[in-house]
């Protein structure tokens, strides 16, 4: 799920929602709104995404509080996670989605593991389909 801190965008861009979201430890987050027509643009390429607006998105002070989640990662895959951000190729153009703040090594390693797992999973499915022909 893509998330953004409530109050970060004007009210004319979002609508009511009944979606629910909780943290990894099961704590419910306050969600009342969603924005369905958000464009993430980088290097002249824009990716349309939906976001839910979270009341208390506690990910740091002084940073724009946005979490690009699974829907975004599915669109940019395959991708590589590096210290400076996430890199991918879209329309044969290499793009870096830089991290807002210095990442924690544990989080980087988790993203790398997730990325490699997804890549291996896709390759396995491709091989399976190839041998089914």
Domain termination residue (choose one: 39, 67, 95)? 67
In this structure, the number of other CB atoms found within 10 A of the CB of residue 71 comes to: 13
Beta pairing class for 3-5 and 45-54: parallel
**What are the residues facing 51 on neighbouring strands?**
35
State the residue range of the domain holding 119: 78-133
Share of the chain above pLDDT 90, in %: 23
Specify whether 55 is located in the same domain as 107. Answer: no
Q: Is the Cβ–Cβ distance between 33 and 21 less than 8 Å?
A: no
Domain termination residue (choose one: 67, 94, 119)? 67
Model pTM?
A: 0.64
Give a yes or no: residue 73 inside a domain: no
Domain termination residue (choose one: 67, 93, 116)? 67
Omega into 5 within 30° of 0, i.e. cis?
no
pLDDT tens for 51-94 read 988 887 765 555 557 888 888 999 998 999 888 889 999 989 99
């Amino acid at each position: 799920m893509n998330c953004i801190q409530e109050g970060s965008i004007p009210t004319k861009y979002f609508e009511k929602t009944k979606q629910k979201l909780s943290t990894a430890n099961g704590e419910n987050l306050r969600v009342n709104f969603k924005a369905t027509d958000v464009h993430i643009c980088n290097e002249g390429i824009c990716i349309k995404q939906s976001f839910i607006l979270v009341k208390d998105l506690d990910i740091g002070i002084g940073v724009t509080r946005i979490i690009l989640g699974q829907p975004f990662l599915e669109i940019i895959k395959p991708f590589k996670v590096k210290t400076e951000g996430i890199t991918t190729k879209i329309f044969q153009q290499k793009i870096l989605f830089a991290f807002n703040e210095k990442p924690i090594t544990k989080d980087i390693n988790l993203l790398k593991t997730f990325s490699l797992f997804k890549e291996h999973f896709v390759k396995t499915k491709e091989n399976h389909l190839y041998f089914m022909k």
